A and B are shown apart, each in its own frame.
Chain A
Amino acid sequence: MEALFSLVVGVLTASGVYLLLRARTFPVIIGLSLLSYAVNLFLFSSGGLRTNAAPVIGASLAPTDPLPHALVLTAIVIGFAMTAFVVILAVRARSELGSDHVDGQHGEEEGPR
């Protein structure tokens, strides 16, 4: 199971990194999201992968480590704030530069302005 979990994290990382290296803003945003999934899962797994062991007192006999959960919960919300900011930045960049290229190159090829 651990091997499978790591494989999934690896694939998420690879897909995210591939998209991060694209030249257009939109794939970069998707890539960032994929990479945050990978990072969150990685962090989360550091507390151990256990079934039926929710860290709620009284709900299970041997609760799992709650600290990674708290960290990842924070990371998810901050990740949302970051994604939102980047999305809006991308919209603004296209409006300013007339292009969705990350370096602001190549003028707009399609769509009315």
Chain B
Amino acid sequence: MATLVAPLLALALLLIQAPAVLAGDVVTLQLAWMPLLGLDLALRLDGLALLFALLILGIGTLILYYSGDYLSADEDDGRFLAYMMLFMASMLGIVVADNLLLLWLFWELTSIASFLLIGFWGSHSDARRGARMALTVTSAGGLALLAGFLLLGQAAGSFALGEVLAAGDAIRASDHYPLIVALVLVGAFTKSAQFPFHFWLPHAMAAPTPVSAYLHSATMVKAGVFLMARLNPALGDTALWSLCLTLTGLTTLLYGAWFALLERDLKGLLAFSTVSHLGLITLLLGLGSPLALAAATFHILNHATFKAALFLGAGIIDHETGTRDLDRLGALWSMMPLTGTLTLLAGAAMAGLPPFNGFLSKEMLLGESLETDVLGTLSVIIPLLVLLGATLSVAYSLRLMWRLFFAAPRRSREQKALPPMAVHDPAPGLLAPGLSLAALSLLVGLFPMALAAPLVQAASWAVQGEATLELHLTLWHGLNWPLAMSLLAIAGGVVALRQHRRLAQIAALFSPRDASRSFEAAVLRVIKASLWLTQRLETGSLQRYQALLILCALAMAGIGLVKLDTLTGAAGMQSLDAMLVLGAALTVFAAISSALSHRWRLVSILMLSVVGLMVSLAFVRFSAPDLALTQLSVEVVTMILMILALFFLPQRPPLLVSGRRILRDLVLATALGLVTAMLNYALLTRERPAIADYFLRESVPGGGGANVVNVILVDFRGFDTFGEITVLTLAGLATFGLLHGLKLFMPAGNVEGIRWSPQRYPLILAVISQLLLPLALLVSVNIFLRGHNQPGGGFVAGLITATALILQYMARGHAWTRTRLPISYPIVAVSGLAVALATGLGSWLFGYPFLTSAFGHFHLPLIGDIELATAMLFDLGVFLAVVGATLMILVNLGRVTTIHRPSLEEP
């Protein structure tokens, strides 16, 4: 019961604002949320919002009270109440939202809450199916609605509801108007179960009955009609709008009423009747006259009261008797007089009998249907069809009351053998909410001016967009056409009830067309199609994925080329010389050989190294000394790595591939190569805008270094470099994991079967490497120190150091080197990262942003004037990380062959 505090508090707050709203004011609250998207946390309380908020909170309170007794003790009522509160909050959000996007957000939230509540008894398959169906239909409608809202916001120039409603003329004049109407109506019709989207609502009856009473009759399904009413000032008052609403409303009214008459399930009958009444409200909104709009809002109120009461009564009967089958139930009046009173009161209101509230709004509908000219001269059929609908609704309402309480139950032979049902009225906790709602429908019918008129009037002002209508509601209008039609409907209803068996026989002549079955079939087809596509795409073959990826790349690059008018741009070409031609020829030869000789793996690697060398030379030629140095040192390390790997991989794999596959790959490769070459050529022959000037200008004053590339790396873009050395270190650390517990299969000899040389560490190499080590370290220190002003820097120096150390391992073996160089490379790499990070963080101490650098000139004896920058400290971090990571990778792979295997415990 503690749950009731929140809705009651909200209700009290609402009532404080009510007098102002009833006088025609609009209470608003604005909080900017995402102003760039036009999404504000804006709330508005006008007459329409007040009407709905009262329904949501009032009926919500009663139903929460009812649920306390309805759910049995072993059910998870915490979860149930949480879902109900979620729904209540989002539904309130819909009605008070003052921003289209906000409204949509709450709209979707109600769909989710509805899904959770329909599927509350998730162990039943019909609950799961009904929940899925409701979610699919309403959220598909929600997407259409979002599209409609986006267009609407564009046409109105704002997403704020107030401005949208004021911009009605501009919206109706915009080109997108028909599309907006179509999309918004799809959203509204799916939510309000209008034909042909009605089918999810009867299936939603798998939910616990309080949910059906609250969501699927009183509130959520009204969100659709709320939306149409809300947007009426912006979208309404056109032929398209009235026609869509009138026709859909009429069809739904008749369709729902007919199936309600035939339905055997108690809740199913109520569900179809809800569909029918929602159609009635849509029809009234479509008729569009001030009085019709007032009748629509009045009927929203009336339907919510009597239908919620009926559902609560149905819940009691289901709860007490254990069945909802109308044919098995009967003669309950003597056993359940209070439940009977409840159902008779509310059922009479549903039938539209005087003096109940349903009678008042139905009279208004009948009156308006006589006045309308929506269908031109064909409008005469509207009152006739409305009369038919009214007759049917009297018939199914009478049938409900008659079968439940007075008719004798029809039982099969076995059931007759059982003792007759002994049931009784439930505890007051279950009865009170329904009885009070039923009493309310009677009281509103008796005293409409006092109880409903101000509220309905304020609401209809909001729907109409102007506060002109003076509403008069009375039970007695004098002898007129609507009264005659009402009497006719009642008489017709009684006749239809008496002839029910014959009507059922007529209905049985038509094959039952269950919309839900075609829905399920469509869902199955979609699943099958996506399964088919997935199986085509996901074959588990990496080669196939590669080929598809390359095809996509080809298509994207091709699009780029199609957009070019001429391949050769305005800048033209520079002249060639012999060196360039020679270099290009060598590169092309080496690249193609490397590709063709891939089965002779050593040859392939050698050819690859030629390509790498030529690329370094290209960097030298085209003014990139830093790149040349880096490429050259990376090249050395990569080659060592690949030759090591070759040792562990098959040396001459068998040829297991068809000619067709080779042809396909050749075509793909050539095509992508061609497209790349053309793109590159097109790029090279055009003038390119560059931001180089900034770096060239700022390098010395801003970074304190003349080597602009190095300054960019350690200063301007230092953060990128930091990320990069992190990746490098991670790759190094990953080798520990990947090589941990590796099963070995080391070949004893080469591919021709010649055994490896027994002399593992050749003497000459050992001597030379020992001589080279100090020299190499000297070079790398030099390159490191000069890096800020001349080509060089931490990357290159690190790679040179790493190569020099690796040479020791190769010449002397792991054990020998390890005893003389007991350094843990993971620690080196990580401390490199730490140094770089500390340098970056250091600038915070001086109040500068991360990685701001400082520099100054110092005079050192012997070496001379030297410029020291904090960037150099950062470069030291880079140096350490590169040395550590490179050695981790190479040494780990190399020592797999020895007894000092890498393992996860070590680093």
Contacts of A92 in B (CB 8 A): 738-739, 742
Would A10 and B676 count as touching, CB distance under 8 A? yes
Assign chain A's interface to a size class: 35 or more
In the assembled complex, B768 has its CB within 8 A of some CB on chain A: no
In the assembled complex, B449 has its CB within 8 A of some CB on chain A: no
Among candidates A12, A63, A69, A109, residue contacting B591 with C-beta atoms closer than 8 Å? A12
With A78-B728, A102-B542 as given contacts, are A53 and B623 in contact (CB-CB < 8 Å)? yes
With A4-B580, A49-B574, A56-B707 as given contacts, are A30 and B692 in contact (CB-CB < 8 Å)? no
Would B731 and A45 count as touching, CB distance under 8 A? no
Would A55 and B709 count as touching, CB distance under 8 A? yes
Would A54 and B677 count as touching, CB distance under 8 A? no
In the assembled complex, B490 has its CB within 8 A of some CB on chain A: no
Q: How far, in whole Å, are A85 and B885 apart by their CA atoms in the complex?
A: 11
Q: How far, in whole Å, are A44 and B598 apart by their CA atoms in the complex?
A: 28
Among candidates B604, B631, B669, B708, residue contacting A18 with C-beta atoms closer than 8 Å? B669
Q: How far, in whole Å, are A108 and B648 apart by their CA atoms in the complex?
A: 13
Stretch at the interface among B218-226, B244-252, B613-621: B613-621
Q: How far, in whole Å, are A4 and B630 apart by their CA atoms in the complex?
A: 24
Would A65 and B619 count as touching, CB distance under 8 A? no
Would A100 and B650 count as touching, CB distance under 8 A? yes
Interface residues of B in 542-565 (CB under 8 A from A): 542-543, 546-547, 550
Cβ distance A30 to chain B, nearest Cβ, rounded Å? 6
Contacts of B721 in A (CB 8 A): 74
Would B713 and A7 count as touching, CB distance under 8 A? no
Residue of A with least CB distance to B625: A54
Contacts of A89 in B (CB 8 A): 738
With A67-B695, A87-B641 as given contacts, are A21 and B546 in contact (CB-CB < 8 Å)? yes
Among candidates A15, A56, A63, A94, residue contacting B669 with C-beta atoms closer than 8 Å? A15
Stretch at the interface among B293-301, B321-329, B422-430, B653-661: B653-661
Cβ distance A84 to chain B, nearest Cβ, rounded Å? 4
Tally chain B residues at the interface, Cβ within 8 Å: 114
The digit string for A30-70, where 1 denotes a CB below 8 A from any CB of B, is 11011001101110111111111111111110011111011
Residue of B with least CB distance to A11: B588
Contacts of B668 in A (CB 8 A): 17-18, 21
Q: How far, in whole Å, are A9 and B543 apart by their CA atoms in the complex?
A: 23
Would B604 and A27 count as touching, CB distance under 8 A? yes
Q: How far, in whole Å, are A13 and B709 apart by their CA atoms in the complex?
A: 26
* Interface-centre pick from B649, B665, B670 (highest chain A CB count, 10 A): B649
Cβ distance B622 to chain A, nearest Cβ, rounded Å? 5
Contacts of B588 in A (CB 8 A): 7-8, 11
24 A-B pairs in the complex with CB atoms less than 8 angstroms apart:
A2-B681, A5-B684, A14-B673, A21-B665, A23-B543, A26-B604, A26-B646, A51-B623, A54-B623, A55-B707, A56-B706, A57-B696, A57-B700, A64-B623, A64-B624, A74-B713, A77-B634, A79-B634, A88-B645, A91-B739, A95-B648, A96-B743, A110-B652, A112-B747
List residues of A whose CB falls within 8 A of some B CB.
1-27, 29-31, 33-34, 37-38, 40-42, 44-60, 63-67, 69-70, 72-74, 76-85, 87-92, 94-96, 100, 102-103, 106, 108-113
Of all A-B residue pairs in the complex, the 10 with the closest CB atoms, nearest first, are A10-B677, A14-B673, A6-B681, A18-B669, A15-B595, A65-B692, A66-B708, A27-B598, A81-B731, A70-B712
List residues of B whose CB falls within 8 A of some A CB.
540-543, 546-547, 550, 573-576, 580-581, 584, 587-588, 591-592, 594-595, 598, 601, 604-605, 608, 611-612, 615, 618-619, 621-627, 630-631, 634, 637-638, 641-642, 645-646, 648-654, 656-657, 665-666, 668-670, 672-674, 676-678, 680-681, 683-685, 688, 690-692, 695-696, 699-700, 706-709, 712-713, 717, 720-721, 724, 727-728, 731-732, 734-735, 738-739, 742-745, 747-748, 789-791, 795, 882, 885-886, 889, 892-893, 896
